[in-house]
Amino acid sequence: MRFTFRCLDAEADAPLLHRWVTQPYASFWGMLSASVEDVVEEYARIQASGHHHALLGLDGGVPAFLMEEYLPDSSPLAAVYAVQPGDVGMHLLVAPPSEGPEPGYTAAVMDAVLARLFARPQVQRVVVEPDARNTKIHALNGRLGFQPAGVVTLPDKEALLSFCSRSDYQAARAALDTLSTPIPQGASL
């Protein structure tokens, strides 16, 4: 397996995350002007919440992406859609490439994240709510099985609410190797 995961340490990992979230490509992450201390505070809050947590994705042991998973019924999403048993929310931010973009890299990362989530039998759907203007991530989501449900208003953005069922993911996964258009590294969700 190319990718592995480890629990994020808010204090120790903050300098690395700060470099990622303050890059122009990460504008939809909402932390462009964050300080390292802001990153520590945000991820300490997430890790202590009991319903939202963050993991670092490693590529060959090197940090390569940030994954957050959360319970939609404990988030602002609970006010905009009927949360179903088995729903899990997900955010994803891929690190800037160190040696130039690798075609298909972000799709491979997303595939690994979805495989990890769907490996738990209780997970029936993955829910995402990227900024409605983030067309790169909408394209990636569609390629991996997400179905848009419409634009919703959240406290921090207008978001495209989308769902990926286990069967939609499996169908998309079967076609992953035949993607004809590479997905650029550096998309954020």
Confidence at residue 74, expressed as pLDDT on a 0 to 100 scale: 96
In a domain, 147, yes or no: yes
Of 69, 56, 58, whose CA–CA distance to 1 is shortest? Answer: 58
pTM across the whole model: 0.90
Number of neighbouring beta carbons within 10 Å of residue 157: 17
In a domain, 186, yes or no: no
Exposed/middle/buried for 171, CB within 10 Å: 0-12, 13-18, 19+?
exposed
pLDDT at 186 over 80: no
Confidence at residue 182, expressed as pLDDT on a 0 to 100 scale: 43
Task: Indicate which CATH number applies to the domain containing 64.
Answer: 3.40.630.30
Confidence at residue 97, expressed as pLDDT on a 0 to 100 scale: 83
Confidence at residue 183, expressed as pLDDT on a 0 to 100 scale: 43
Q: Report, as an integer, the average pLDDT of 71-88.
A: 97
* Tally of domains in the chain: 1
Q: Report, as an integer, the average pLDDT of 102-109.
A: 90
In a domain, 42, yes or no: yes
Identify the H or E element spanning 149: strand 147-154
Number of neighbouring beta carbons within 10 Å of residue 126: 27
Beta-strand runs (E) in 25-146: 52-59, 62-70, 87-94, 125-128
In a domain, 187, yes or no: no
Burial 98-122 (b: 16+ CB within 10 A, else e): eeeeeebbbbbbbbbbbebbbeeee
Q: Report, as an integer, the average pLDDT of 116-128.
A: 97
Most confident option among 86-90, 98-102, 169-173: 86-90
Q: Report, as an integer, the average pLDDT of 131-136.
A: 95
For residue 149, what are the domain limits?
Answer: 3-178
In a domain, 189, yes or no: no
Confidence at residue 1, expressed as pLDDT on a 0 to 100 scale: 53
In a domain, 75, yes or no: yes
